[in-house]
Amino acid sequence: MTGIVAFGVFLEGPEVLHETVVVFRRASKPEEHRPSWITLVALLGWIFVALGVAGEGIAEGFVSKADGIVQTFNSILLADTQKQTAFALERAANNEKEAAQLRKDAEGEKTARQALQGKITEAQNRVEDLRKANNEAAGRLEEEKRKRLQLAVSLLPRNFRDQSGALLKLGAFKTSVQVIFEFTDEREVTRTAEQIAWVCALLHWKYWRLRGPREMFIDDGITISPGSQMFDFPPTSEMNTIQERARVWESQKAVVEAVSRSFVKTLQDSGLDAKIGNEGYRWPPDTMVISVGFKPNRVLDEAIKELGEPEATPIPGFVQSMGGNRVSIPDKTSVPASKNP
C-alpha cells in the first residue's frame, strides 16, 4: 500500500509543479489556463493516495488483528509452555521423590542384605561350631570306647601269647640257664609264672620255685634279675688261678645278662609288663631270678583316678590313713583232734 500512496503522490507532482510555476509567473504575466491532463493526472494521483491510505488502514486492521491473533497464540503457547513446564517440574519433583524413595529403599535393602549376610555368617559360624562340637563329641565318644575296651582288656589275665617267638630268640643263645621263680599263690600270678616256665621247660633249662617271705615284697609285673654273686669255682686243670676263675665268672654273667634282656624283650612283645631287676646278687652268674608279681593295671588306675578314688578313714594318732595293706596267713601245722562225746 505504501507503493500505491507513493505512486499517487508522484502523479500529483505535475500539478504541484505547475502550480508552483504559475505562482512565479503571475508576477510578470497574466494567468494562463491549466491544462486538462494535469487535472486528470492529479485526480488519478489523489485516487491512488486515497486508495493507498484506505488500503493502509485496512492493512493496519488486518495487521492489528493478525498481531492480536499472534499475541493470543503466543499467550496460548506461553500458557501451554508454562503448564508443561509446571507439569515437567511436578514430574521432576515426583521423580526426585521417587528417586529419593528408591535411594532410601536401596539403602534399606543394602542394610537388610548386610543384616541378612550377618545372620548367614552367624548361622554358618554356629553350624561350624556345632560341627566342631559334634566332632569333639564323636572324638570323646571314640576315646571313651577305646578306654572302655582298654579297661576290659586290662581286666583279663595275662597271656604269654608269643611263646614260640621266645623259644626262637632264647634258643639262639645255645646255653643252659638255671631259673629261680618267685611268685605268690594268686591264681593269675601262678598262671603267668607257669606260662613262663613252659618256655624254660622246652629250652631244657633247670627251674624251680623259691618260697619265702620275699613273696610279700615282689614288685608288680615281671622282673628278671641275672645272677651276679661272686663265688669261688673249684680248682680244675683249666682254672688254676683266680684270674681264670674271674674270667669264667665274667663270661657267664655276660651271657645270662644278655639272655635276661632278650627274655624281657620277648615278654614285652607279648604285651606283658616286664623289666630287668637287681635281685640276683644272691645267686651265681649262670642263674636268673624271675619274680612274678601282680598284674599292673595302669588303665584301671587311670580310670579310678578320673572317677576319684574314695579316701580311707583317718585314725586318730596315726600319721596317715591306711588301706590295701596285706599280711601273710601262716599254714596250720596240725589239726586238733575232735572230741567225741
pLDDT at 93: 85
Q: Exposure of 180 by Cβ count < 10 A (0-12 exposed, 13-18 middle, 19+ buried)?
A: buried
- All cell numbers assigned to 69: 491473533
Q: What is the mean pLDDT of each run of 10 residues along the chain (341 residues)?
A: 59 60 55 60 65 69 77 81 83 85 86 88 91 90 77 77 92 90 92 94 93 85 90 55 75 91 94 91 90 83 68 73 67 54 44
CA distance 78 to 89: 16
Domain end marker among 66, 93, 120: 93
One domain, residues 281 and 176: yes
Which of 64, 72, 75, 56 has the alpha carbon at shortest distance from 6? 56
What one-character DSSP code corresponds to residue 38?
H
Q: Outline where DSSP puts E strands in the chain.
A: 178-183, 206-209, 222-226, 274-276, 287-292
Domain end marker among 64, 93, 122: 93
pLDDT at 340: 47
With respect to residue 319, please indicate whether it lies within any of the assigned structural domains: no
pLDDT at 255: 92
Total domain count for the chain? 2
pLDDT at 203: 93
Cα–Cα–Cα angle for 184, 185, 189, rounded to 5 degrees = 70
Structure confidence by residue, pLDDT tens digits, 20-35 = 655 556 555 555 555 6
Which of 37, 42, 35 has the alpha carbon at shortest distance from 16? 42
Domain end marker among 36, 68, 93: 93
- All cell numbers assigned to 300: 584301671
User: Each residue of 228-238: b (16+ CB within 10 Å) or e?
Assistant: beeeeeeeeee
290 close to 264: Cβ distance less than 8 angstroms? no
With respect to residue 321, please indicate whether it lies within any of the assigned structural domains: no
With respect to residue 130, please indicate whether it lies within any of the assigned structural domains: no
With respect to residue 121, please indicate whether it lies within any of the assigned structural domains: no
CA distance 67 to 65: 5
Q: What are phi and psi of 84, to 5 degrees?
A: -65, -35
Structural domain of 22: 2-93
With respect to residue 138, please indicate whether it lies within any of the assigned structural domains: no
Gyration radius from the chain CA atoms = 71
pLDDT at 304: 67
One domain, residues 292 and 185: yes
DSSP states of 247-276 as a string?
HHHHHHHHHHHHHHHHHHHHHHHTT--EEE
Cα–Cα–Cα angle for 150, 222, 286, rounded to 5 degrees = 155
One domain, residues 169 and 286: yes
Q: What are phi and psi of 180, to 5 degrees?
A: -110, 120
With respect to residue 50, please indicate whether it lies within any of the assigned structural domains: yes
With respect to residue 282, please indicate whether it lies within any of the assigned structural domains: yes
Write the CB contacts of 187 (distance below 8 Å, at least 6 apart in sequence).
Answer: none
What pTM, to 2 d.p., does this model score? Answer: 0.52
pLDDT at 81: 81
Structure confidence by residue, pLDDT tens digits, 180-214 = 999 988 899 999 999 999 999 999 999 999 988 78
